[in-house]
Amino acid sequence: MLLIPCPWCGPRDEAEFRYGGQAGVAYPGDPAALTDEEWARYLFFRDNPEGPFRERWHHAAGCRRWFALTRDTATDEILGGGDPTPGGDPTPGGDPASADASVPGGGR
């Protein structure tokens, strides 16, 4: 069982949360200008590392807020606590600072 540190509620059982995928995937600035391949890359391609991974979580059964944290995908160890930064924000734009701006979807 994973204890996830919500920045507002503290450590809670993982059953209270919904996984939101990779953090820091910026919405394309001009989606209409993308090729089909670029759009598909933005929609479907995400990093899948074995090790530290920055990801978004939604405290669905608690405060209902989004946040980002860093988790080791091999051990499930939480390496960075819940962080109420734009990296956890699911709205368009996400966290462009942590994404590769040269290719929509972070270039993965």
Binding interface with Zn ion (CB under 5 A):
6, 8-9, 59, 62-63
For residues 9 and 103, which CB has a smaller minimum distance to Zn ion in the complex? 9
In this structure, are residues 25 and 47 in contact, taking their beta carbons and an 8 Å threshold?
Answer: no
Nearest approach, Cβ of 107 to Zn ion (angstroms)?
Answer: 32
Nearest CB to Zn ion, comparing residues 6 and 23: 6
Please tell me the total number of residues recorded for the chain in this structure. Answer: 108
Whether 88 contacts 80, CB under 8 Å:
no
- State the pairing for strand pair 18-22/66-72: unpaired
Taking the C-alpha atoms of residue 80 and residue 78, their distance in angstroms, rounded to an integer, is 6
* Shortest distance, position 62 Cβ to Zn ion, whole Å: 4
* Residue 59 beta carbon to Zn ion: minimum distance, rounded to whole angstroms: 3
- Smaller CB distance to Zn ion: residue 8 or 19? 8
